[in-house]
Amino acid sequence: MGKFMDIWDSGKDGKNAQRRSFFRYAIIATAVFIVMVGFLNHNNIVRWIKAGAEIRSQQRQIEKLQGEIDEMDAQIRGLRGNRDSLERYARENFHFAEPGDDVYLTD
């Protein structure tokens, strides 16, 4: 770290003053560029990280919903094949009743 700190000491420039001043300029310009790209720009690194997290969250949600769709498709296939299972499903979930059935409503 000693040589890096010597770049900032203009008393040690000697005959390399022009080259050392260029290095100082290059270091400052690079630091300003990194700050601008990393934090101040509209498309900065912080936004990239947040967008990546959002994409991962949405992908997990897509996978969860796809699983639910697969379960519902299996349930639909089961209900289409058997009239008794369809009737039982309608009675349980939609409170359907045949004429003559006793219906009890509860809160």
Residue whose structure tokens are 């289409």: 80
Is there a contact between 91 and 97 (Cβ–Cβ < 8 Å)? Answer: yes
Residues 92-97, mean pLDDT to the nearest whole number: 78
Domain boundaries, the chain: 1-41, 43-98
Q: Please give the helix or strand (H or E) that residue 46 lies within, else none.
A: helix 45-81
Asked if the model's pLDDT at residue 40 lies above 80, the reply is no
pLDDT band per the 50, 70, 90 thresholds, residue 53: very high
Q: Tell me if the pTM is above 0.75.
A: no
pLDDT band per the 50, 70, 90 thresholds, residue 80: confident
The whole-number pLDDT of residue 88 equals 83
